Amino acid sequence: MRIPVIIDCDPGHDDAIALLLAFASEKLDVKAVTIVAGNQTQEKTLNNALKVLSFAGVNVPVAKGDDKPLMRDLIIAPEVHGDSGLDGPELPESNLKACDMLAIELIAKVVRESDKKITLIPTGALTNIAKFLLCYPELKEKIERISLMGGACFGGNWSPAAEFNILVDPEAADIVFKSGIPITMSGLDVTHKALIYDEDVERIRNVGGKVAVMVAELLDFFAKFHMDMGFKGSPLHDPCAVAWVIDPSILTTKKLHVDIETKGEHTLGATVVDYYDVLKKEKNVDVAFDIDRERFVDMLVEAVKYYN
Ligand SMILES: [Ca+2]
């Protein structure tokens, strides 16, 4: 029985690969893809998602979200993802179109009509997910779990204390983390171990076929930024959140209490993880700390084969 999921993303190189991993998996049934602003503007992340899905021959309802976070101006990441948000491969215009509904309306429709509980996989800022929970509180009980990419127990990547996705919309993250829905958090603690090295990229390229080549070209571009930062490979953040739903044994997690910092002068957007259980509060998040990297890479290689 496939696990019904909705992916909420901001493609983004690692988002694109997360989408391809999800659609290739026989374990998942991707009911919808919703788009959030983050790595680039809403218009660009929507366009990128449609192009990638169309190029891969996937047909799924896609809906766009808001242009900006709940209460703040948008932060984007052209340093990492380029001006288009998906620089690297030349992709043709999409045959797919976004549906007329907004992201939260599409999520609500899928959740309402599903017999089974839905797992949400957000790989961008949590704007759409928070808004969905605020607007449709009656549907909360039909969410099985949220497997998200975001946050970190130790350190940040967009400020010393904060990871990008949470920093973009901390108020949204606060709503989601307080929702009571079970959460699996693939933060920097694990995604910085989900490294793709040059030889792994060549393995993917050697699979052959247009999707494998596109993924290799995405990774070629993604590597440039990370090499300059001193990484020995590219951390594939977003696919971790999908990989865990496909096979939870691929990540090692620890159940902990996590709060979101929404006010700090130096710590805005931090996921404050109570690693030593100082507060004795309810443990609301399964925080991922480790990954079976070899198996993760094998999973990605198998996924691109699916499209041949
Ligand atoms: Ca993302």
Model confidence over 227-271: pLDDT tens digits? 988 999 999 999 999 999 999 999 999 999 999 999 999 999 999
Q: Which of 51, 81, 45, 79 is nearest to 64 (CA)?
A: 45
pLDDT at residue number 154: 96
Percentage of residues in the chain having pLDDT higher than 70:
100
Q: Supply the pLDDT for residue 234.
A: 96
What is the per-residue pLDDT across 67-100, written as a single tens digit (0 to 9) for each? Answer: 999 999 999 999 999 999 999 999 999 999 999 9
Between the CA of 232 and the centroid of ligand 1 the distance, in Å, is 21
The pLDDT value given to residue 34? 98
pLDDT value at position 272? 98
Distance 15 CA to ligand 1 centre (A): 5
> Looking at residues 112-131, what average pLDDT do you find?
98
Distance CA 250, CA 271 (A): 23
pLDDT recorded at residue 23: 98
| Average pLDDT value for residue range 5-21 | 98
- pLDDT tens digits, residue range 210-226? 999 999 999 999 999 99
- For residue 264, whether the previous peptide bond is cis, meaning omega lies within 30 degrees of 0, is no
CA 6, CA 121: separation in Å to the nearest integer? 6
The confidence band for 161, taking pLDDT boundaries of 50, 70 and 90, is very high
Tens digit of each residue's pLDDT (9 = 90 or more) over 25-42: 999 999 999 999 999 999
* pLDDT, position 115: 97
Task: Quote the pLDDT of residue 304.
Answer: 98
CA of 168 to the centre of ligand 1 (A): 11
pTM of the predicted structure, to 2 decimals: 0.98
Mean pLDDT over 140-147 rounds to 98
The single-letter code of the amino acid at 169 is D
* Residues 127 and 37 sit within 8 Å (Cβ to Cβ): yes
Residue 131 pLDDT class (50, 70, 90 cuts): very high
Instruction: Say how many Å lie between the CA of residue 137 and the centre of ligand 1.
Output: 25
Q: Any idea which residues carry the catalytic annotation?
A: 237
- pLDDT, the chain, mean: 97
Sign of the alpha-carbon torsion through 243, 22, 273, 181:
negative
* 219 C-alpha to ligand 1 centroid (Å): 14
Provide the pLDDT confidence category of residue 139 given band limits of 50, 70 and 90.
very high
Query: Residue 277, CB half-sphere, CA atoms under 13 Å: how many?
Result: 8
**pLDDT at res. 73:** 96
Find the 288 Cα to ligand 1 centroid distance in Å.
17
**Looking at residue 113, what is its pLDDT?**
98
Give the pLDDT mean for 43-62: 97
Beta strand pairing call for 195-196 and 143-149: unpaired
Helix count and strand count (H, E) for the chain: 12, 12
